[in-house]
Structure 1
Amino acid sequence: MSGTLLQAIAAAAVLSSAAQPSPGAKTAPPEGRRGYWWYQAPEPESPAAEEPLPKPRIPPMAELAAWTPPRIRKLIEDQRDYAATVLTVEAVADFWRLEDFARRKARAFAGLTQIAMLQNPELNAKSANPMVGDARAQLAAQKDTIRNAYLRAKANEFALVMFSRVSCGYCRVQWPIIQRFQDETGWQVTRIDLDERPEAGSRFGVEVTPTTMVIRRGSQQRMIVATGVEAYPTLAQMTYQAVRLLRGDIRPEQFMTGPGEDAGFFDALGNGPVAAGSSGRGLTNIASTSLGGDVP
């Protein structure tokens, strides 16, 4: 064999070995072969190293005192996370120093609040809602007097209706409470059995019994004041508020204003409107269905 031939064979062997893939090497699938059986999994990515948590800068207390509460809260949270990560006595102590600063700032705010309440009694609930037992009893009696006088004065203008069923045990509990309301205020009260008059339930939109409703005579106005069994004080208070609302004495925003609380601490509109629509009327949804002009 000539030297030229040997050189050609050796060169072919080198080229053939270079074309073979090394063990573990990935090769692209042949042209035209795609799909599940020729899927080549990507190389797994090595997890990125987590950057070390930076140490929060805690300014001098004089500078910290001028910070806003959200900024202070963010610093406290950052220091807490940093301390829980590095777990050193110094980092944990810095966290509690910040907590102590926040506590003292809140204490200072509370102290100034007490002074502001003393100097501005109209902002203090104690001026309208005393905490002493004897004073609270006297206030409750005063409110009962105002509420009962108002309801008695409207006895010829409004009436109370309770919807019930023969099978409703709760109705037998609620009816004596309704009768007490009649005795206290002089109102006419009516009991409607929906088993005997099913059309009344559809007419007034009542499905649950007992349901107690206040209606205004000769008008389309009515309002539910109790669903289920309701104690007498609550029933009287809800009826008082409903009558005032239906007559236009108060606005819907003032529905929780109790007897003697008009323009006071508990009057939502005592210092002016609280919403964009507070200057208009808002009873269209309360009086939407005709009562036929009389008590049913």
Structure 2
Amino acid sequence: MSSGPAGQVTRSFNSPHLETTSRTSLRRFLRTVDGVTIDAAYDPGTGPSGDLAFIVAHGFTGDLDRPHVRRAAGVLTRNAAVVTFSFRGHGGSGGRSTVGDREVHDLAAAVAWARELGHTRIVTVGFSMGGSVVLRHAALYGGSAGERDGERDQEHEGRTEARTDAVVSVSAPARWYYRGTAPMRRVHWLVTRPEGRFVGRFGLRTRIHHRDWDPVPDSPVECVPRIAPTPLLIVHGDQDGYFPVDHPRMLAEASDGHAELWLEHGMGHAENAADGELLARIGDWAVAHAG
């Protein structure tokens, strides 16, 4: 199905309803509202929550076929169905990465696909860059609708099918342009320098847009207050080498008591650091809080 008019979340190509796919894995290309083709996969899972689906949003330079993404998805399938996808500019998806800005449309397309398949409860689970995207997505497509930011409002008018019922943000930044750690200084070199984007394209399978943000999107900490009443879980490791613990604490404080914060002892950064026990706890939390 070709992309719809501005403001609508475009559906997948030839996607059957859940009744015919509940025991079938699927691979589809989705089309975002701004016309980018997104590589996505559906696993029906083995858990008892048939109406629930997790949408897994990977970190920067990841994609749906990376082993750490597949491992995280595999744990979550014990509770419910899982949709994984590659953000724009990553893996088999089209376009170029905007490192957390336009990626909100990619997530919206994946959520809409899960609802098209018949799932009535959706939980978005994002890691690192994906963690910032799930926060922005929840503020734009759900939560306190009408109080969301003014950025490209017409593109989010079709938010009903793209809304989420609970949000899990793992290892996310609270604010943009953070360079306080060596890993984040390397990320900024990768994104802002021509030679860095060359390494990203040919070394990391990540095609990065050369343009600066214009306008700059609202930061994760600015979005968090608009997510309520949608349940929100913030997860962060106390050994995260990219974003220190002031980031999750800022996010939790911005929620004014609405968010639940898990500071995980000994945990590093994102999917690679999230062990099976933590992922299982996240899955249990989601089942209990989504709808």
Normalised to the residue count of structure 1, the TM-score between the two structures is 0.23
Higher RCO structure, 1 or 2 (CA under 8 Å, sep 6+)? 2
* Structure with the largest fraction of strand: 2
Larger Rg: 1
* Structure with the largest fraction of helix: 1
Normalised to the residue count of structure 2, the TM-score between the two structures is 0.23
